[in-house]
C-alpha cells in the first residue's frame, strides 16, 4: 500500500530535550515536506526537500532541522524543543511534477512542557 | 492579508443537505486547486484536484474554480454523516514556485443524522 509513515504518533517531552520525528514514504517520491498544523493558523510548511541531499526552508523553519540522506526518509529534528513547538506535525510527499498533489502521513502530536 | 482565506466554521447541516464550502485567494498566479478532507486524528487526503477554471465532478462532490473572482468552491450533494470532517482548500502556482502548496485554514463540517 502506498503510504507516508510517521513515527511516533504521540510524543510528550520536556523543554530542551532533543527529539527526532521520522518520516518514510514507499512511493519513490522525489519531493518531501514537513508541515505543522495549529488552530487558527492552518498548515504551515517547515522545510521541504526536492530530492536527496537537497533541502530548503519553508515558512516557519526556526527551531527545526531536517536531513535527506535517502530518497524514502525525511526526518524532522528538534535540537532544543520549546513549548511553542507544541503542535500537530505532518510529513508529506509527492512525485516529481510540481503540480502533483501531496500525500500526507497521519501526523505526530507533539507536546513540549 | 493571507494568500488564501477560508471560513473555519464550524458548519453543521442535516443529513441529505447540499453543502457549499468556499475559499478566496489573492495570488493570480495560482493555477492548480485542490480540496483535501481531514478526519479527526488523520492526515489530509486529496479529495478533488482541478487545473485552471471550470468545474469538476466526482460522485457527490463538485469542485468549481472562478479565476476571474479568485474564488473556489466545493459542493457536496446528499451529505452523509461520514462527510463530517475538516475540508482544506489548497492551491499552487505550479512550476513557477517549486509547486509550493498554500493551504486555507480549513472548514469543519458536521453532518447530523
Q: B57-75: per-residue pLDDT in tens?
A: 999 999 999 999 999 999 9
pLDDT confidence band for B96 (50 / 70 / 90): very low
More confident call, B1 vs A106: A106
CB contact under 8 A, B88 and A50: no
Check if the beta carbon of residue A23 is closer than 8 Å to that of residue A39: no
pLDDT of B98: 60
By the CB < 8 Å criterion, does B106 face chain A? yes
* Distances B15 to A92, A113, B7, B84, B103 between C-alpha atoms, Å: 32, 41, 21, 10, 27
pLDDT of A101: 82
Residue A55, pLDDT above cutoff 50: yes
**Residue A81, min C-alpha distance to chain B (Å):** 23
| Helices assigned H by DSSP within A12-106 | none
pLDDT of B106: 94
Tell me the pLDDT tens digit for each residue of A82-100.
999 999 999 999 986 666 7
By the CB < 8 Å criterion, does A36 face chain B? no
- A7 contact residues in B (CB cutoff 8 A): none
By the CB < 8 Å criterion, does A103 face chain B? yes
**Interface mutation vs chain B, best among A98, A105, A109, most B CBs within 10 Å:** A98
Amino acid at each position: 500500500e502506498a503510504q507516508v509513515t510517521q513515527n511516533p504518533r504521540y510524543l510528550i517531552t520536556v523543554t530542551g530535550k532533543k527529539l527526532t520525528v521520522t518520516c518514510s514514504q514507499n512511493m519513490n517520491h522525489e519531493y518531501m515536506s514537513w508541515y505543522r498544523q495549529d488552530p487558527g493558523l492552518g498548515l504551515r510548511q517547515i522545510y521541504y526537500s526536492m530530492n536527496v541531499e537537497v533541502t530548503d526552508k519553508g515558512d516557519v523553519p526556526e527551531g527545526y532541522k531536517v536531513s535527506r540522506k535517502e530518497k524514502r526518509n525525511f526526518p524532522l529534528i528538534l535540537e532544543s524543543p520549546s513549548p511553542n513547538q507544541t503542535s500537530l506535525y505532518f510529513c508529506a510527499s509527492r512525485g516529481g511534477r510540481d503540480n502533483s498533489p501531496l500525500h500526507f502521513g497521519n501526523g505526530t502530536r507533539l507536546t513540549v512542557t | 492579508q493571507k494568500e488564501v482565506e477560508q471560513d473555519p466554521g464550524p458548519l453543521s447541516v442535516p443529513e441529505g443537505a447540499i453543502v457549499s464550502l468556499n475559499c478566496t485567494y489573492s495570488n493570480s498566479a495560482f493555477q492548480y486547486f485542490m480540496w483535501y478532507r481531514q478526519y479527526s486524528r488523520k492526515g489530509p487526503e486529496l479529495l478533488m484536484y482541478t487545473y485552471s477554471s471550470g468545474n469538476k465532478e466526482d460522485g457527490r462532490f463538485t469542485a468549481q474554480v472562478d479565476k476571474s473572482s479568485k474564488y473556489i468552491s466545493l459542493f457536496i450533494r446528499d451529505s452523509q454523516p461520514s462527510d463530517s470532517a475538516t475540508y482544506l482548500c489548497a492551491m499552487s502556482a505550479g512550476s513557477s514556485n517549486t509547486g509550493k502548496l498554500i493551504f486555507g485554514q480549513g472548514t469543519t463540517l458536521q453532518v447530523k443524522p
